[in-house]
Amino acid sequence: MVERKTLGISRGEAAPKNNAREGFALTGARLEKLKERARIQRHNPSPAQEALWGALSGAQLGGVKFTRQAIVGSAIVDFACPSRWIVVLISPEGANAEVETLQDGKLTQVGVRVLRFAEAEILGDLAAVVKAIAAETNKPFDKRAARRGVGGVRMEDSEA
């Protein structure tokens, strides 16, 4: 008998996993579908994605390279910086906060730093968003400490 796994939103605190990478890597048809979806998203960016990509592309941010619409685990992230273990996600208007929290948690479980910004923040004050991303790329980062429970970073958190 094959056990079927489903993705759901947990209402309680999840128990820590022994190996956070377990089940994170994808293969086969699911990976191909994600690649196709990422390709489509790269060809049809939102205005916020276009604006932010203009500031992040070509290693303009202190020589740090970002890729857009990258597949990280089972998610397509808007921008990824593999050398610094950072992903940047853009929250569209009316996005489901519980799903975003779940996605951020899965990424931080494997040691990825998550920066999430609202579309309105990017379109309203791009310079502040780029400054927050630059500050995070310059911070020393301990991937093992991130796996122990340091959550994702939102723009509101980084302004303090």
Q: Is 33 domain-assigned?
A: no
Q: Is 23 domain-assigned?
A: no
Q: Is 70 domain-assigned?
A: yes
Q: Is 5 domain-assigned?
A: no
Written as one letter, the residue type at 33 is: K
Report how many domains make up the chain: 1
Q: Is 105 domain-assigned?
A: yes
The answer to whether the CB of 73 falls within 8 A of the CB of 25 is yes
Q: Is 62 domain-assigned?
A: yes
Q: Is 131 domain-assigned?
A: yes
Q: Is 98 domain-assigned?
A: yes
Q: In terms of pTM, does the model score above 0.85? A: no
Q: Starting from the edge strand earliest in sequence, which strands make up the sheet with 67-72, in order? A: 67-72, 75-81, 86-91, 113-118, 153-154
Residue 36 has pLDDT above 50, yes or no: yes
The label of the residue with tokens 């990258």 reads 70
Written as one letter, the residue type at 59 is: A
Strand partners, 76: 71
Residue 63 has pLDDT above 70, yes or no: yes
Residue 145 has pLDDT above 50, yes or no: yes
Buried b / exposed e over 36-66, threshold 16 CB at 10 Å, is eebeeeeeebeebbebbbebbeeeebeebeb
- 126: containing domain: 47-158
